Amino acid sequence: MDLLDATAMAEAVREGTTTAEELVTAALERIAAWDGEVNAFTVVRRDEALRRAREIDEGVRRDPTSYGPLAGVPVSVKDHVWMAGQPATNGSLALRDFVPDVDAVPVSRLRAAGAVIVGKTNNPEFCYRGFTDNRVFGLTRNPWSLGRTPGGSSGGAGASVAYGATPLALGTDGGGSIRIPAAFCGVVGHKPTFGLVPKLPGFRGWPSLSVDGPIAASVRDLALALRVMAGPHPADPLTWPVPFGDDDGVEAGVDWSTLRVAVSEDLGWAAVDREVRTAFRGAVDRLADDGARITEAHPASAYPTELWNAIALPEGFASEGPLLGHDGIDPATREIVEAGRSVSAADYLDAQERRAGFTETWERFFRADDGGYDVLLTPSMPVPAFSTDVPGPTEIDRTPVDPFFDDWCALALPANLTGQPATAVPTGRTPDGLPVGLQVVGPRWADLRTLAVAARHEALTDFTRAPASAAGPGA
């Protein structure tokens, strides 16, 4: 069966040109063929998924409108995200036996829209790293090159979409955890505006930084998934009743005459690999040739890692500190958790106050009444996928990288600190064949705008999510 995106799959099920059972069977076959080497999945729900697919097919035969916009679409859910009756280990031996009895709101909304959840996907312990490996389920590999990482922390989600197991995956992003796998695996991902998509019930980690969001085969799938998952819910008091809007405009294209587009290779402070810079320049040139009005500009903000750590570390200790008595926690993870122990409440609130100033700088950059920009384009990640033998690059373009806690991900951190939306989309591949991408950042609640710009770039770029056709398992 040809690889379709989620939008096309659901349309085919409703029109009767395929069935949910056929789609789920194909997904399970790809998992069986690929996952032994990629190791994207922690749980495969074969029997439950096929049973649910048959229920959907029976309902569609009675009434094609009886199921929602994801009717029959195979979907994966990150291990970290709670799903009733399925393990949520958060990649840790300390939580190996934890099985929630309730769905996180995005999971229940995906189910209600007709999605068929075929399994859960791997993440590093407590979602702390930009690669995916843990002592419970082991190492996840990149389908484009099995010796490379798919990124993290939603690495299993990115890999599951990259090799075609599912066209849509639910991940999370507290410091780039959707955009890193999107860049490394050559798929698309969206870090929503903070408060757009509920993330509870669930783990407590990084409550002011992390969001739930989609990784997908196409930008229109990102918009479809957001439409399904967005909206306030009593389970998550940090969600806001802001209308998502009409996502049909994402595919309609953009009117460049109405958009001011800022671009920056490095935001003024990031080390970026030369191959990534070259690919990013090619992407900017394509958009300029398409009519985009491009200006070299970026917010006048400081390097974000220290501020992000000042918030993430105490939030992480508050969440995972009680688990430190378990001797199965990885030493590197333990070091990160312990780093938040000595942070006082006053220090934490001081960091949040500095964050408010950082956010104001970024919001002002986009503010129309200040002559601001509509979107900002940067590379998604400063490097292509690195080897599975290392926890991250030691240097980027001859610039040393701080070895503590994935400082190489700094280009992703502003959107988490500010709560702004960021869409990651592939731009091409390096000479070694590794995917690279750009991210489109906008002001809060402008998710549809960043998606529309990403969709236009997607339409101008010849890129496929099917490494299986090029390399095959074991390559």
| Residue ranges making up the domain that contains 126 | 6-470
Structure-token pair, residue 324: 């430190």
CA–CA dist 242, 418 (Å, integer): 17
From the candidates 92, 108, 145, 177, which is the catalytic residue? 177
In a domain, 407, yes or no: yes
- Give the per-residue pLDDT at 463: 79
CA–CA dist 368, 312 (Å, integer): 31
CA–CA dist 423, 173 (Å, integer): 12
Listing DSSP states for 222-239 in one string gives HHHHHHHH-S-BTTBTT-
Look up 153 and say whether it is catalytic: yes
- Give the per-residue pLDDT at 3: 83
> What is the value of pTM for the model shown?
0.97
Proportion of the chain in helix, strand, coil states, percent, rounded to 5: 40, 15, 45
| Cβ-count burial 455-475 (b if 16+ within 10 Å, e if not) | bbbbeebebebebbeeeeeee
Count other C-beta atoms under 10 Å from residue 270's C-beta: 21
In a domain, 1, yes or no: no
CATH number at residue 37: 3.90.1300.10
CA–CA dist 362, 372 (Å, integer): 10
- Give the per-residue pLDDT at 467: 58
Count other C-beta atoms under 10 Å from residue 46's C-beta: 15
Cα 263 versus chain centre, distance: 21
Strand partners, 295: 262
In a domain, 445, yes or no: yes
| Domain count for the chain | 1
CA–CA dist 340, 192 (Å, integer): 26
Mean pLDDT of residues grouped by 10 in the chain (475 residues)? 87 96 98 97 98 97 91 98 98 98 98 98 98 98 97 98 97 98 98 98 97 97 98 97 88 92 98 97 97 97 97 98 97 97 98 98 89 95 98 96 92 98 96 96 97 97 62 38
φ, ψ of residue 451 to 5 degrees: the values are -65, -40
In a domain, 466, yes or no: yes
Q: Is the peptide bond before 201 cis (omega within 30 degrees of 0)?
A: yes
From the candidates 78, 120, 191, 199, which is the catalytic residue? 78
From the candidates 108, 153, 210, 380, which is the catalytic residue? 153
Query: How is the beta sheet containing 116-121 ordered, strand by strand?
Result: 41-44, 116-121, 74-78, 168-173, 211-216, 188-191, 422-429, 435-441, 375-379, 261-263, 294-296
Cα 431 versus chain centre, distance: 25
Look up 177 and say whether it is catalytic: yes
